[in-house]
Amino acid sequence: MKNFSNLKNQKGFTLIELLVVIAIIGILSSVVLASLNSARTKARDAKRVSELKSLQTALELFYDSSGHYPNDGASGTYAGCWQGTGNWIPDAGNYNWSTGYISKQPQDPADICCWPWGNCGSAGQPGTYEYWSNGQKYMLAARLEDTSSRNRAEITGAIDPRSGAPYANNNPLGKYVFVITN
């Protein structure tokens, strides 16, 4: 039979000490994961803003060479992921007008298809890109996930070219949307 009196002299961790260490590791990992999720949200928003600015440059280059912005009709063109095409901004039925101006028309990084101010769930849920043009004016919009973003429409003061009113006032979720107009 073993002598258990020698076990008392051995060094080791108690169960309580191990539980405390596991609890501390759990708390630290949850803080890191929360910060990581916030960083991903900001990265997707930065990508949205960057891609819309690149698309704005392509639209201006197209205008310089053709004398109009991409447009599919007199009443104006609305476009977004609901078109179901890789290139989603048409010009007289041509979805490939952007060849030579931009490598490809951008797609929202969250890959959720809804209007930027549409009924997609919570107000901070991302949407897709939207484009509107009557040939002489245009508007690009994207819903941002970060509701505290400095790029929101209510801060940028974007004017909706369809109505002439501030974009954030015309759309129920306008304060979460980044807008570029000409």
pLDDT of residue 105: 81
72 domain-assigned: yes
pLDDT of residue 103: 83
The burial class, CB within 10 Å (0-12 / 13-18 / 19+), for 55 is buried
Which of these, 53, 32, 42, lies nearest to 126 by C-alpha position? 42
d(CA 46, CA 32): 21
22 domain-assigned: yes
pTM score, whole prediction? 0.69
Considering its fold, how many domains does the chain have in total? 1
139 domain-assigned: yes
92 domain-assigned: yes
Q: What are 140's strand-pairing partners?
A: 131, 180
7 domain-assigned: no
Residue written as token pair 């596991």: 22
Please, how many CA atoms are within 13 Å of residue 160, restricted to the half-sphere of its CB?
14
pLDDT of residue 28: 94
143 domain-assigned: yes
145 domain-assigned: yes
Cα 109 to Cα 50, 145, 173, distances in angstroms: 12, 11, 19
Domain span including residue 82: 14-181
Per-residue pLDDT of the chain (182 residues; tens, 9 = 90+): 556 555 566 678 899 999 999 999 999 999 888 888 888 888 888 888 898 889 899 999 999 999 988 887 655 666 665 455 567 787 777 878 888 888 888 877 776 656 555 555 544 455 567 788 888 888 888 777 777 777 765 556 666 666 677 666 555 555 566 777 77
19 domain-assigned: yes
pLDDT of residue 18: 93
Query: Helical H runs in the chain?
Result: 15-66, 153-156, 167-170
d(CA 104, CA 12): 62
